[in-house]
């Protein structure tokens, strides 16, 4: 009897059956392999996190009380906590290049260790620049006073800052602190001192600014202020030579005062100095180096100063050291002039000035009038 072979139809049938079996088995095998690799990966991550925890126990001084610390995997390798071989991704044998984020949980008084695949560099928060850094790197500042302080100059530089939900303007950086002045007046028609004395430490305006006015500033803004700043109270008697801005700068920081007056005062809110006005102009004219009491004749000087206002006179903190009742103001016609401390006028404005702490940061803004610097600690 002849042996019969498989017909083509039978062979094709077998192939179809084998194909169906493959369709059933292979996905399951593939899925099983993938699940196995995922399990190995999770075990690998757990190993990294556990060794990072050991690192943290030995480096607690480096860990923050708030926020996060970003631990590079290479630090674990260098410290002998894991080997380079252990930093292979079991899923595809590629190097593991992520980061362990260490964050403090105050609820449980412990640190949490979480491995992420993103690099530490990509996860670290971008450090906000300080306001001091913003001023120091601005193209609109000059170092034109005797000590080379950075000051904003020009008719309208981008030196606006949001403070107490109001617009203020930055005068400059002095001894590592930013000095700002309110963009609009606090009050008009208010005397420097109702008792007609030019002692700022006892002046009625000083008392009002540091009590009544200070209480209108919100607590977050108050916390940004150097509340124990040392203000110079050196005085100047009028003479054309004395009232050159460089000389005024020295007198303001000097010890020449009217008999019995203090040379410094410690407090929160003060006023502008005459030299702040003198050094705020961007004009390069030599006239601007001359007597500030004659600046009304030098329009190029005051018209290129952002501090100048044709609408209001401005009280300054500086007294006349030769007379007991005279202090200096910036006139609406551009010059610096003396006045009795008890003088009042609706065109005489009070523009508060204060110093911010050195670590105040800029969170947003360009410094323009419409997009001022927003700041925080």
The length of the chain in residues reads 377
When pLDDT is cut at 50, 70 and 90, the band that residue 23 belongs to is: low
Residues of the chain with pLDDT > 70, as a percent, come to 91
Q: Do 76 and 98 meet the contact criterion of CB atoms below 8 Å apart?
A: no
Is residue 231 predicted with pLDDT exceeding 90?
A: yes
Average confidence score pLDDT of the chain: 91
Q: Which two tokens stand for residue 304?
A: 């290129």
What is the per-residue burial (b if ≥16 Cβ within 10 Å, else e) of 245-265? Answer: bebbbbbbbeeebbeebeeeb
| Cα 13 to Cα 115: distance, rounded to the nearest angstrom | 52
**For the segment 141-174, what is each residue's pLDDT rounded down to a tens digit?**
999 999 999 999 999 999 999 999 999 999 999 9
| Cα 171 to Cα 178: distance, rounded to the nearest angstrom | 8
- Mean predicted confidence (pLDDT) in 235-247: 91
- Mean predicted confidence (pLDDT) in 216-243: 95
pLDDT of residue 185: 95
pLDDT of residue 335: 96
Of 34-38, 126-130, 171-175, give the lowest mean pLDDT range: 34-38
- Mean predicted confidence (pLDDT) in 30-49: 79
- Mean predicted confidence (pLDDT) in 217-235: 97
Looking at the whole model, is its pTM more than 0.75? no
Is residue 292 predicted with pLDDT exceeding 90?
A: yes
- Mean predicted confidence (pLDDT) in 329-344: 96
pLDDT of residue 339: 96
- Mean predicted confidence (pLDDT) in 211-222: 97
Is residue 1 predicted with pLDDT exceeding 60?
A: no
- Mean predicted confidence (pLDDT) in 124-137: 91
Determine how β-strand 313-319 pairs with β-strand 348-350.
Answer: parallel
């Amino acid at each position: 009897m002849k042996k019969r072979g498989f017909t083509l139809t039978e062979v094709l049938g077998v192939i179809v059956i084998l194909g169906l079996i493959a369709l059933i088995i292979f996905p399951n095998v593939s899925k099983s392999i993938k699940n196995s690799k995922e399990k190995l990966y999770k075990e690998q991550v757990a190993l990294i996190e556990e060794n990072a925890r050991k690192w943290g126990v030995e480096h607690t001084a480096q860990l923050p009380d708030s926020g996060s610390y970003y631990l590079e995997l290479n630090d674990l390798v260098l410290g002998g906590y894991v080997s380079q071989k252990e930093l292979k991704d079991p899923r595809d044998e590629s190097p593991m290049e992520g980061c362990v984020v260490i964050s403090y949980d105050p609820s449980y008084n412990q640190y949490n260790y979480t491995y992420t695949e993103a690099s530490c560099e990509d996860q670290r928060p971008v450090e906000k620049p300080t306001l001091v850094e913003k001023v120091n790197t601005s193209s609109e500042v000059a170092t034109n006073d005797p000590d080379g302080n950075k000051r904003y100059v020009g008719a309208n530089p981008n030196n606006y800052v949001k403070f107490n939900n109001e617009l203020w303007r930055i005068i400059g950086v002095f001894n590592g602190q930013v000095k700002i002045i309110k963009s609009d007046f606090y009050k008009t028609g208010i005397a420097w001192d109702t008792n007609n004395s030019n002692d700022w430490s006892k002046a009625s305006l000083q008392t009002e600014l540091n009590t009544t006015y200070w209480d209108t500033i919100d607590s977050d803004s108050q916390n940004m202020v150097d509340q124990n700043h040392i203000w110079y109270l050196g005085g100047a008697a009028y003479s054309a030579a004395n009232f050159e801005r460089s000389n005024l700068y020295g007198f303001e920081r000097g010890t020449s005062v009217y008999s019995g007056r203090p040379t410094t005062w410690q407090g929160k809110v003060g006023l502008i100095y005459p030299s702040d006005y003198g050094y705020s102009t961007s004009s390069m004219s030599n006239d601007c180096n001359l007597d500030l009491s004659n600046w009304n004749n030098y329009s190029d000087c005051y018209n290129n100063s952002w501090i100048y206002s044709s609408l209001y006179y401005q009280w300054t903190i500086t007294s006349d050291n030769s007379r007991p009742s005279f202090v200096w103001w910036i006139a609406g016609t551009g010059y610096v002039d003396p006045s009795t401390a008890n003088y009042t006028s609706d065109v005489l404005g009070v523009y508060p000035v204060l110093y911010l702490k050195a670590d105040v940061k800029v969170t947003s803004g360009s410094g323009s009038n419409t997009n001022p610097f927003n700041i925080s600690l």
